[in-house]
């Protein structure tokens, strides 16, 4: 089945290349929106279709025909050089900064002159050989699969840096299609690690983020286009073989929660910007539990056609350096993307009510009171 999907995905991408030679990003946007309308297909199959299509687009526009890996990585280097800090030292927190895309993000930030606080499950000593920059960063150990650990992470960060002096938080850490695990907090692990814990960490650190130019990034995924229905029960449900449905849903919930958080920050007169972003289909250990990416005869092919971790750092670094407006949006390929309107399962709400419902449920998952943002921004809340 994977070969059939690869064949038809590649055929469609080649046809689209003939019509849109100069803009692969527009092609992927069109494919994403088209797949989001295929509600008759199971979510896991839509995830695979999105992955195959994006891989084919990468081949055509970023590998050999439209560009090359070297050219794309050179673009990241240029982005870093153009935004090297010339005055002072700014601090950015990166979760999962010890591996994969996170390590490339940390390297880019350090080269641009930032001080970086890395949040990792791994003890610092175990990463000494892997990362030459490790002595240049602050290190915080914690596990996003535990709400108690997230609180500890936030408290440790607050001890490292004074209030209001975090310039940015990049929620990069995540897991995908892992064997089902219900955490001690009662959540399906992908929902907790990808969506609930990043939102909790962000809210806990909001008073420590710079008021005027601060920002928060959340690593989402194009798999959010695989569903347009939010089902809050999935955050606590187990599964047997289909972890991709839970993964796609966790990324949809995250993107919608980011939109809701952006709205809430605006209501509280805060200038902190928040964004969800898709780094691209990057060759990392994230795909370790997805069979097709580990098959021997395809593994070397994916090594070539999927993005490198440096290429995957492009959009988060762009957002960190540019901090564009408006807030609460979803980005990919340095471009703001359109997300289809979502509904909530078994709830008949107007579009204007969906955002508030997602925000209230997010706070419930995070075990936070509705007044939490009033406590984060007491002066702004009185305006």
Whether the per-residue pLDDT at 195 is higher than 60: the answer is: yes
pLDDT tens digits for 98-134? 888 999 999 999 999 999 999 999 888 877 666 778 8
First to last CA, the chain: 58
Whether the per-residue pLDDT at 288 is higher than 60: the answer is: no
Which runs of consecutive H residues, i.e. helices, occur in 193-281? 197-205, 243-267
Which residue has 């940015």 as its token pair?
168
Class of domain 69-381 as given by CATH: alpha beta
pLDDT tens digits for 308-328? 889 999 999 999 999 998 899
- For residue 258, the Cα-to-chain-centroid distance in whole angstroms is 10
CA–CA–CA angle 131, 141, 107 (5° rounding): 30
Taking the C-alpha atoms of residue 172 and residue 175, their distance in angstroms, rounded to an integer, is: 10
pLDDT tens digits for 161-193? 999 999 999 999 999 888 999 999 999 999 999
Contacts of 362 (CB under 8 A, 6+ apart): 196, 199, 253, 257, 260
Taking the C-alpha atoms of residue 179 and residue 195, their distance in angstroms, rounded to an integer, is: 17
pLDDT for the residue 23 = 55
Alpha-carbon dihedral angle through residues 263, 267, 271, 276, given to the nearest 10 degrees? -10
- Backbone dihedral angles phi then psi of residue 136, each to the nearest 5 degrees: -95, -5
pLDDT for the residue 183 = 98
Strands of 49-166, DSSP E: 91-95, 115-120, 138-141
Per-residue b or e along 171-188, where b marks 16 or more CB atoms closer than 10 Å to that residue's CB: bbbbbbbbeeeebebebb
- Backbone dihedral angles phi then psi of residue 103, each to the nearest 5 degrees: -65, -35
115: preceding bond cis by omega (within 30 degrees): no
Kind plus residue range of the DSSP H or E element containing 22 = none
The domain locations on the chain are 69-381
pLDDT for the residue 383 = 44
CA–CA–CA angle 248, 251, 256 (5° rounding): 125
Whether the per-residue pLDDT at 226 is higher than 60: the answer is: yes
Kind plus residue range of the DSSP H or E element containing 52 = helix 43-62
Taking the C-alpha atoms of residue 196 and residue 129, their distance in angstroms, rounded to an integer, is: 32
Contacts of 195 (CB under 8 A, 6+ apart): 235, 250, 251, 253, 254, 257, 365
Arithmetic mean of pLDDT, 340-357: 91
Among 39-43, 62-66, 246-250, name the one with the lowest average pLDDT: 62-66
Whether the per-residue pLDDT at 61 is higher than 90: the answer is: no
> Please, which contacts does 295-299 make with residues 24 or more away whose CB atoms are closer than 8 Å?
295/2, 298/2
């Amino acid at each position: 089945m994977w070969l059939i999907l690869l064949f038809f995905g590649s055929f469609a991408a080649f046809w689209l290349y003939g019509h849109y030679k100069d803009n692969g990003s527009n092609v992927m946007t069109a494919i994403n929106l088209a797949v989001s309308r295929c509600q008759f297909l199971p979510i896991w199959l839509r995830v695979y279709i999105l992955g195959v299509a994006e891989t084919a687009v990468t081949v055509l526009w970023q590998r050999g025909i439209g560009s090359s890996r070297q050219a794309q990585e050179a673009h990241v280097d240029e982005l870093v050089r153009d935004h090297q800090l010339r005055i002072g030292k700014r601090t950015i927190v990166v979760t999962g900064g010890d591996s994969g895309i996170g390590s490339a993000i940390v390297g880019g930030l350090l080269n641009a002159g930032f001080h970086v606080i890395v949040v990792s499950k791994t003890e610092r000593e175990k990463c000494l050989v892997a990362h030459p920059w490790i002595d240049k960063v602050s290190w915080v150990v914690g596990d996003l699969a535990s709400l108690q650990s997230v609180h500890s992470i936030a408290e440790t960060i607050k001890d490292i840096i004074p209030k209001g002096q975090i310039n940015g938080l990049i929620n990069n850490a995540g897991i995908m299609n892992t064997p089902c695990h219900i955490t001690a907090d009662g959540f399906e692990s992908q929902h907790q690690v990808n969506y609930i814990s990043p939102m909790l960490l962000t809210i806990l650190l909001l008073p420590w983020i710079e008021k005027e130019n601060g920002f928060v990034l959340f690593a989402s995924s194009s798999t959010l286009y695989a569903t347009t229905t939010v089902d809050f029960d999935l955050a606590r449900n187990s599964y047997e073989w289909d972890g991709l449905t839970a993964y796609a849903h966790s990324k949809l919930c995250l993107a919608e929660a980011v939109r809701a958080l952006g709205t809430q920050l605006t209501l509280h007169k805060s200038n902190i910007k928040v964004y969800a972003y898709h780094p691209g289909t990057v060759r990392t250990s994230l795909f370790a539990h997805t069979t097709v990416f580990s098959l021997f005869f395809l593994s070397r092919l994916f090594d070539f056609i999927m993005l490198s971790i440096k290429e995957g750092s492009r959009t988060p670094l762009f957002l960190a350096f540019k901090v564009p407006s408006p807030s609460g949006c979803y980005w990919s390929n340095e471009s703001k993307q359109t997300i289809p309107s979502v509904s909530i399962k078994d709830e008949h709400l107007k579009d204007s009510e969906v955002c508030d419902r997602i925000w209230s449920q997010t706070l419930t998952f995070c075990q936070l009171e509705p007044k939490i943002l009033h406590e984060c921004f007491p002066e702004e809340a009185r305006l």
